[in-house]
Structure 1
Amino acid sequence: MAAGLAGALIPRAATAQPAPSGDQFQGILTAVWADPHPASTAQSKIYFSLAYPDGSRAAVDVAPALESQAVQLAGKTVIVRGAAVAAQSGESDAGRIAASAIEAAGVERQAAAAVTGTKKVLFILLKFKGDAQTPHKPTFFKKLTNPLTASAGIPGTINGFYDRVSYGKLQWSGAVAGNKWYTLPKTRTQYANCGSGGSCFAPQLSVLGDDALQLVKADVDVNAFDNINFVFNNDLDCCAWGGGYSNGSRSWGATWEPPWGQEAGTYVHELGHSLGLPHSGWRYYAYDSGHDQMSRGSNAKTVTCGTYNSVNFGGPNTSIFCSEPGGGFIMAHQDKLGWVPEARKAVHSTKTTKAYDIEANALPLSTKLKVVVVCLQGSPCSSAQSNGRFLTVEVKTRAAASDTAVPSEGLVIHEVKMDRAPVSGSCYFNSQSGWAMPYDAVTGDWDPSTCSGAGLSNLAYGVGQTFNDGRLGVKVEVLKKTDNVYRVRVTKSK
């Protein structure tokens, strides 16, 4: 690619590497995101760890300035430079590393390939010792994953969403280990016990993964799969989790889902993390964009699809809700994963004015553009560069399935900053922000003193509105709309 958003983040098999040497530590880096239940505002962060060839692991403290780079290296064999420090409560005997630098090792320095084709995902259904409930039958998870269309009790499927947002380039093939539920060797509280107000399962996620692989080894070859979805019969802590899992010899994309997260809306978000995507939004508060399922997202439909005896969120007969995701993905992420053809992108890199016709994101590919990438003075215009910085200009409308519930329709503009530091503040209960931050067409309707207001619900620019950032030297005017195609005029003055 000449510019724009080349490169993708794919968990992959890796050759076993030496463990620590002085202030250098080599292994497979994993990252997991904690995404809270709607009733929880527990503070959490991205949890990084390094898996050594012998299967032991060390937690990795990543400073804010390194976090975005670490996310881009997740799933790869890396060299972590820093100092060994004492492990915290609940962490493994391999200790903790205070990282001062992280870099890819060996062949992992090569650019990653696009995320396309069919990815095989294994669901491992797990009951905590002493808790016999099974919120769903094993067949539920195949119906949730494999079909492109909805069925009774399942208004949206994982494959249906990803097929649309990838323009047919990525499919998931789901299987259930042993077609049964397995019983873990420990009770829930023996793994961790902090209730809905904390994220104490972070250091135990790999332990749960190890125990799960031991349970299923006679029934399935986990190495035949790209991803593993660890499915639990009760709550963990505050959160559902997504990212990667490694046993030291290879890595898988992974999710850890309590019953409330075993539905398409949560899975498409957590599987996005497993593909290497961070969150978006965070302009006013955490998860504040309904225009992207990697932020808060939006639901087109929600139905009750089960119950369970929830230890953290409601007690006996707590309802489980299944949704149809309706917030789609954003171009900054879709192009990063290799889903947008070169012919459907325009790169505006020179000081000039030019008009473009941009088609709605959710519509199938045609001869129209899907995104305009606006390069910024002094910054690499590519997401393949760790310090890349540029704008993406796209159109979000409710014209087709994956975007049918976006809060506002029109032009959506993001500033993509690949080395963006975590965003925090009084209205943010966590700082797990990402590369892409949306601009807001209607400013002044959010009150940071009370953390209330419309925020990004009306972020889209309509006909007659103009985005103008003199600091960046970029102006984007929305000239007209014809059905789901918007004509815009982009002026770059710097």
Structure 2
Amino acid sequence: MVQGTLQLQWADPPRAQPGRTQAQPHLDAWLDMGPGRRVALDVAQAQRAAGDLYALANRRVAVSYDTRATLAASSKVMAASGALPVISAIVPTDRLPQRALAMGADGRVMASAPVLGATRWVTLMCKFADIATEQKPRSFFQDQYGNAPGQLGHYWSEVSYGQINLAGSSAHGWYTLPKPRAAYLADVNGRQKAQLSELFSDCAAAADADVDFAGIQGVNLMFNGELDGSAWGGGACTTLDGTYTCTRVTWSPPWSFANLAPLAHEMGHGYGLPHSNNSDGDSDTYDNPWDVMSDAWRNATTDATYGLLPKHPNMYQRERLGWLPASRKRVVAADNRETQEFVLDAGSVLKTANTQLVVLALPAQPDPYKTVIYTLEARRRTGTYEANLAGDAVIIHRLEDYGIAYSVDRDTPAANFSSNEGSMLKVGGRWNTPDELHWVEVVSATAQGFVVRVGPRQRSMSSPAPVLERPTQVASSSPATPRPSAPTPAARPQSSVRRRGCDALPSLLRLAPVCVWLER
């Protein structure tokens, strides 16, 4: 067993140009045990061993290895193949908040430590020894931390519902690095990779005389030249003010810091947020325009000074970090037997007594980290950051792969980018979980969200469970005609409330369900 600080670093390439394939992200993981002492971790193994690996970023952990599996493989074979020892478990060793590692009502383990209060960041602007250009003045980076709409201080306060702020954040530079750009690149497994720890150390050392690093929560590094084709976010360790320190870090080339959206994406990695995705099944993780932690570029609002602005992250990840008040989360149990109707306010509503996150629980798995759940959240085109979204709708996410949120697309096949109608559950739209334990219907719109109805599987006599979906889309040039909405139970006397049961015809027929009203 070894102990140290878990470090994760995500590589994010720029948005692909039209006609070009989107470059892929990359995730590195290692254990930092002090100056010059690092142990690389196999990411896939680490995810399985930790369960919620992202919640442990920048925290003290213990890593244990399966000695039998490791010894079974010859050390020579492992060395030749580049394989790493088999990880059996990764557990936190720091003092945990009360809610950490507790089983939630949704059947998943809450392993994340809340991110609350002042999270002071420092921007360091560093230029390579062989590149003289200074793209932006110090005032530009200092003002990024402001609290006016369209600035980072305002953005992070809004998406965290005031739970965090950037008070005391500051920008410094430009400082000249001791080496040219090429000296910070290395060939790793056949590709050029920026030496991030060295860049962090050299940039921090150049700024050390000017900057007070005491109490910082993160460092945004800005470089005046390209790195390795990506911007990076996560964490790193170096000596700051004479003390070896591990902290949140981002590494931004000019194309990244010129727009606030990709910078906020990298800071999100610093806070421990993983990538999100959509449900088309391809290898592109940047195809969910509803989430800044997936596609930061599409459907973004624009500011004359700060370029593209960040959208909100998905509600489940905000709740993981302790930003969503417990009263705004509703869990529908896997064995739910009652139909529930409630107001689901958009995530952009800062103060509300209504629900903003719905968790549709599924039966728990032996490994709670592998338990799949579905979430519902409302999105409205409003405000500084959400005004250019694809529509006003309820968005469904499937949580799997150790905490990755996939936006659900009900079209077949799924669209390349989930800004399509299939990704939006609108008024009159219906959907059920694949196992048919839950069905969802959007009843009506409100000023700040939607009235949503959620219920258990329904059966009419001995027929199969219902398939509830949005109005059928006909693959032709003529618009589809939506099915008429059924009357709501609320409009009937309580003594004669009826519920709707829908019999699904075989899916290959592509026909609408046959629905009947049943007395209750």
| Fold match by TM threshold 0.5 | yes
> In 2 relative to 1, CA 358–80 (structure 1 residues): closer, same or farther, beyond 3 Å?
same
Give, in angstroms, the shift of residue 348 of structure 1.
1.2
> In 2 relative to 1, CA 412–166 (structure 1 residues): closer, same or farther, beyond 3 Å?
same
Give, in angstroms, the shift of residue 267 of structure 1.
1.5
What is the match of residue 302 of structure 1? 302
Structure 2 distance, partners of 1:398, 1:148, is 20
What is the match of residue 25 of structure 1? 2
Structure 2 distance, partners of 1:443, 1:96, is 39
What is the match of residue 119 of structure 2? 119
CA offsets per residue over residues 331-375 of structure 1, 9 Å max, x none? Answer: 111111111111112121142221121011112221221111221
1:406 aligns with 2:389: yes
Give, in angstroms, the shift of residue 80 of structure 1.
2.4
Structure 2 distance, partners of 1:96, 1:182, is 39
What is the match of residue 442 of structure 1? 411
Residue pairs, 1:312-461, within 5 angstroms: 322-325=307-310, 327-349=311-333, 350-352=335-337, 353-379=339-365, 386-417=369-400, 419-420=401-402, 435-444=404-413, 446=415, 455-458=418-421, 459-461=423-425
> In 2 relative to 1, CA 293–246 (structure 1 residues): closer, same or farther, beyond 3 Å?
same
> In 2 relative to 1, CA 336–185 (structure 1 residues): closer, same or farther, beyond 3 Å?
same
> In 2 relative to 1, CA 226–295 (structure 1 residues): closer, same or farther, beyond 3 Å?
same
Q: State the one-letter code of the partner of 1:255.
A: T
Structure 2 counterpart of 1:45, from 5, 26, 38 = 26
1:104 aligns with 2:68: no
What is the match of residue 287 of structure 2? 288
Does the aligned pair in 1 maintain the 2:13–2:230 contact within 8 Å?
A: yes
CA offsets per residue over residues 161-216 of structure 1, 9 Å max, x none? Answer: 21211112221136446x32111111111110679x95612xx1111112222222
Q: Which runs of 5+ in 1 are unaligned?
A: 1-23, 89-94, 150-155, 306-320, 421-433, 447-452
Q: Which runs of 5+ in 2 are unaligned?
A: 101-111, 459-520
Does the aligned pair in 1 maintain the 2:303–2:309 contact within 8 Å?
A: no
Q: State the one-letter code of the partner of 2:177.
A: L
- State the number of aligned residues: 416
What is the match of residue 153 of structure 2? 159
Q: Identity of counterpart residues, as a percentage?
A: 30
What is the match of residue 180 of structure 1? 173
> In 2 relative to 1, CA 208–98 (structure 1 residues): closer, same or farther, beyond 3 Å?
farther
Q: Helix, strand or coil: the match of 2:162? A: coil
Structure 2 distance, partners of 1:402, 1:68, is 32
Q: Which structure has the larger Rg over C-alpha atoms?
A: 2
Higher alpha-carbon deviation: 38-47 or 204-213 = 38-47
1:74 aligns with 2:69: no
Q: State the one-letter code of the partner of 2:328.
A: R
Structure 1 counterpart of 2:270, from 256, 268, 274 = 274
Give, in angstroms, the shift of residue 50 of structure 1.
1.6
> In 2 relative to 1, CA 167–396 (structure 1 residues): closer, same or farther, beyond 3 Å?
same
In the superposition, the TM-score normalised over structure 2's length comes to 0.73
Higher alpha-carbon deviation: 264-273 or 396-405 = 396-405
Q: State the one-letter code of the partner of 1:32.
A: Q
Does the aligned pair in 2 maintain the 1:390–1:415 contact within 8 Å?
A: yes
> In 2 relative to 1, CA 408–247 (structure 1 residues): closer, same or farther, beyond 3 Å?
same
Q: State the one-letter code of the partner of 1:159.
A: G
Q: State the one-letter code of the partner of 2:314.
A: I
Give, in angstroms, the shift of residue 470 of structure 1.
4.2
In the superposition, the TM-score normalised over structure 1's length comes to 0.77
Structure 1 distance, partners of 2:255, 2:315, is 28
Does the aligned pair in 1 maintain the 2:394–2:426 contact within 8 Å?
A: yes
What is the match of residue 452 of structure 2? 488
Give, in angstroms, the shift of residue 445 of structure 1.
5.5
Give, in angstroms, the shift of residue 118 of structure 1.
1.6
